[in-house]
Amino acid sequence: MPRSVERGPRDMAASRPPNAAELASARRLFAIALSAEDQGRWAEALETYERIRKIVVSPSLWYHIGVCHEALGEVVEALNAFELALSGATARKEVALARESRSRIEALRARASQIVLRLPDDAAGVRVEIDGDPIHPALVGAAILVTPGARRVVVEAENYTETFEATVQADTGALVELRAELGRKRSSAPPRRLAPVRTAPPGEPAPDPLLPAEVVVGAAAALAVGAVITGALAYDVRHSYLKENADPAPGSLGKREALYERGQALAITSTALTGAALLAGGFATYLFWPSSPPSSARSASPDAARSSASRPRVPGPTALSPWIGPDGAGVALRGSL
């Protein structure tokens, strides 16, 4: 490029406007890079230009970056830099720089090679690398510009079993079409079947209690109170009888016999009530005692057994029903034992 077109970074734009010290340093570095470029030290000049690009950029800087890449044989990188130089120079109406950049671009396009990758249409999760550099999957099927020479291509897809790797010779200006063989398609994992949940068979409905346990408890309490009262009366009558009998008055035989018979009746009544209260209390205790689950429910399933073990035991359904028949009478017990 003619040196009259651009000799240093001026009117540069960056994400943050450089301060005076940064601009002065960038101009000094640009002069050093130009000197290395004039002496054919392309890699050294390119490294210095890249340092400047992190501070400020300009169409002229992109142009010199492209010159270094072209001299190093990096056709694609040079094309990219010259196109950026052309875009910036056109926007700033820098005619000479734009014309020189366009000329370089046309010459490099004739030299660049192209690779077209062909993959299965249903390939998903595609990863492409050329010479270790990642290539966007959107370029699969389109012409990918590469520098002429031996190029290493690696292709993978998440839904295929194999990785495609190949080294292809991309001649100058050639178009290479490459079909990536990815092996067999991965089969979708079948859904894992869950074991059916086993539930205990429903039990028979509990019979409605004909005589609730609370009634039995109340009856036992009433019988106990009656036994205490009759016992106390029997003791009082016996005490009166013993007193009268110890010093009997004339003509008191009938009175003493009446006291004796009354005491005997009260004692028998108290004894009977005490026995009935004990029986009712024992039966009430039985009604409230927790019932064990049936053996069939215990053996239904281990899960059900563990679940029932973790819950508090509850009383089983029990019913108490009095009955009267032609041959006798009694009390019937219905429910689980």
d(CA 247, CA 255): 13
Q: Which residues pair with 322 in a beta bridge?
A: 331
* Number of other residues whose CB lies within 10 A of the CB of residue 71: 16
Q: Which residues pair with 294 in a beta bridge?
A: none
Q: Give, as one character, the DSSP assignment of residue 26.
A: H
pLDDT for 9 equals 46
Judge whether residue 300 has pLDDT over 50. no
Q: Give, as one character, the DSSP assignment of residue 248.
A: P
d(CA 129, CA 167): 12
d(CA 314, CA 289): 8
d(CA 261, CA 125): 108
Q: Report the sign of the C-alpha dihedral through residues 250, 252, 257, 262, in that order.
A: negative
Higher-pLDDT residue of 178 and 244 is 178
Mean pLDDT of 69-75: 95
Q: What is the pLDDT of residues 211-233, one digit of tens each?
A: 566 676 777 777 777 777 877 77
Q: What is the pLDDT of residues 149-190, one digit of tens each?
A: 999 999 999 999 999 999 999 888 899 999 989 889 898 765
Residue 298 in contact with residue 305, Cβ under 8 Å? yes
Judge whether residue 298 has pLDDT over 90. no
Integer Rg of the chain from CA: 55
Mean pLDDT of 240-268: 75
